[in-house]
């Protein structure tokens, strides 16, 4: 097989060409022996120019980041030097964006940068939390352990989100079925029904009139008006949301919503607790761990509290005392657990125990929410189908019964 490749030499010169090999892996190995760092490799047998170019814009998924981090930890623990580890990962990475980033990371390390500095070149893929854990590992001489910490943290976070999404999959499926049934009714059933009944004359039942009116509106371009009615309000909302003052009000409001607010609090408490626990366990000072957690929490209300906590802890206060002053955002259970961790010197372990408690609670809540939503959606779908059947068959029954009018 022939492969087109784009690569860089050790002198950072770009090279393009064609190489013949039995497999893609074999081609990468051959290029590696020549001292090339491959950034793009594609088979000429099924080459698509547009697909090749689009690969350059692909993003790094959570699974790919987890795999990369886990492999880094495993190889570093086996005493393989960091530079050789990254070069190996460059050769076996399928994602071209990640491959290009790893290539630049290896080049940065070759010029004297530390691992944390090199990974910090790509904050969208490797955020401040990721880089700080590596930096802590460098300070303590436990770089391999820092990647193991990161891999476990990323896996836990990914599995947690997948559980929530999985619990809501069936309700989403019901909504999609509902939408498809509505489209079939609008574009297939209603036009035929409308033509038939209007030729028969007479007075139509109100459900039939409504159905025909909706179908006619949609058929005449009403469906294409929906984006113009929906998109502008969403665009305005997203634009206004970029305002810090609006975001603060919006974030405070959503925490007060019935049921949803309580769910969001638990979600952000899990994120806060796990990030803080991992950072402390990795050896970062408390104030630095609080600062990094504040930056990645993603909610302005909790960011303000973390900023206050960082300032007060720097003056000698305890984290639990600050959280006690915010009972709406931090339940007494959290403050008491953190207080115990501070007194026993096991804050990272206590935080992780709390995180596990809330994770299970959120999973149960998501399952309960799905259990509540499912029957509601099924009943709603049933009523819609009943309305559709009533609107279609009632005038037909009247026709077959020989009625002079509807």
Residues 296 and 262 in one domain: yes
Q: How many CB atoms lie within 10 A of CB 34?
A: 10
Q: How many domains does the chain have?
A: 3
Residues 26 and 87 in one domain: no
The CATH number that applies at residue 315 is 1.20.81
Residue 29: inside a domain, yes or no? Answer: yes
Task: Give the range of the structural domain holding residue 153, as residue numbers without chain letter.
Answer: 62-157
Which residues have CB under 8 Å from 13's CB, separation 6+? none
Residue 228: inside a domain, yes or no? Answer: no
* Tokens representing residue 195 in the block: 């033509």
- Spans in the chain with pLDDT lower than 70: 1, 20-22, 33-34, 44-58, 186, 190, 193-195, 197-203, 222-223, 240-241, 396, 398-406
Residues 75 and 147 in one domain: yes
Residues 68 and 42 in one domain: no
Cα 19 to Cα 1: distance, rounded to the nearest angstrom: 8
- Model pTM? 0.64
Residues 14 and 72 in one domain: no
* Tokens representing residue 145 in the block: 């352990």
Residues 146 and 90 in one domain: yes
The CATH number that applies at residue 124 is 1.20.81.30
Cα 36 to Cα 112: distance, rounded to the nearest angstrom: 20
Residue 97: inside a domain, yes or no? Answer: yes
Residues 25 and 82 in one domain: no
> Looking at residue 46, what is its pLDDT?
52
Cα 36 to Cα 398: distance, rounded to the nearest angstrom: 80
> Looking at residue 44, what is its pLDDT?
63
> Looking at residue 337, what is its pLDDT?
93
pLDDT in tens, 337-356: 999 999 998 999 999 999 88
Domain end (from 111, 126, 157): 157
Residue 149: inside a domain, yes or no? Answer: yes
Backbone angles phi, psi at 96, to 5 degrees: -65, -35
């Amino acid at each position: 097989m022939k492969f087109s490749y784009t690569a860089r030499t050790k002198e950072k010169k770009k090279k393009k060409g064609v190489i013949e090999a039995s497999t893609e892996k074999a081609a990468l190995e051959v290029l590696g022996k020549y001292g090339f760092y491959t950034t793009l490799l594609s088979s000429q047998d099924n080459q698509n120019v547009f697909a090749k170019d689009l690969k350059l814009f692909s993003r790094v998924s959570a699974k790919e980041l987890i795999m990369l981090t886990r492999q880094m930890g495993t190889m570093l623990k086996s005493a393989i030097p960091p530079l050789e580890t990254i070069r190996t990962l460059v050769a076996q990475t399928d994602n071209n964006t990640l491959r290009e980033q790893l290539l630049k990371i290896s080049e940065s390390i070759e010029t004297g940068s530390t691992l944390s500095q090199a990974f910090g070149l790509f904050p969208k893929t490797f955020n401040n939390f990721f880089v700080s854990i590596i930096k802590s590992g460098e300070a303590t001489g436990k770089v391999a352990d820092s990647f193991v910490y990161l891999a476990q943290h990323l896996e836990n976070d990914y599995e947690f989100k997948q559980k929530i999404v999985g619990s809501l999959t069936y309700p989403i499926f019901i909504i999609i079925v509902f939408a498809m049934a509505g489209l079939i009714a609008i574009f297939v059933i209603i036009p035929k029904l409308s033509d038939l009944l209007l030729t028969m004359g007479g007075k139509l039942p109100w459900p039939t009139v409504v159905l025909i009116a909706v179908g006619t509106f949609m058929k005449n371009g009403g469906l294409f008006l929906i984006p113009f009615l929906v998109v502008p309000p969403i665009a305005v909302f997203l634009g206004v949301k970029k305002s810090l003052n609006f975001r603060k009000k919006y974030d405070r409001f959503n925490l007060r919503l019935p049921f949803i607010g309580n769910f969001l609090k638990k979600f952000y408490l899990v994120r806060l607790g796990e990030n803080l626990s991992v950072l402390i366990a990795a050896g970062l000072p408390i104030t630095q761990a609080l600062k990094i957690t504040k930056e990645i929490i993603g909610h302005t209300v909790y960011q303000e509290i973390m900023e206050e906590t960082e300032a007060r802890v720097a003056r000698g206060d305890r984290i639990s005392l600050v959280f006690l002053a915010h009972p709406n955002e931090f339940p007494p259970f959290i403050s008491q657990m953190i207080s115990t961790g501070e007194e026993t010197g096991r804050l990272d372990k206590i935080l992780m125990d709390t995180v596990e408690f809330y994770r299970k609670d959120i999973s149960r809540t998501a399952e309960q929410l799905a259990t509540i939503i499912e029957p509601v959606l099924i009943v709603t779908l049933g009523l819609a189908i009943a309305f559709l059947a009533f609107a279609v068959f009632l005038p037909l029954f009247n026709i077959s019964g020989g009625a002079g009018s509807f």
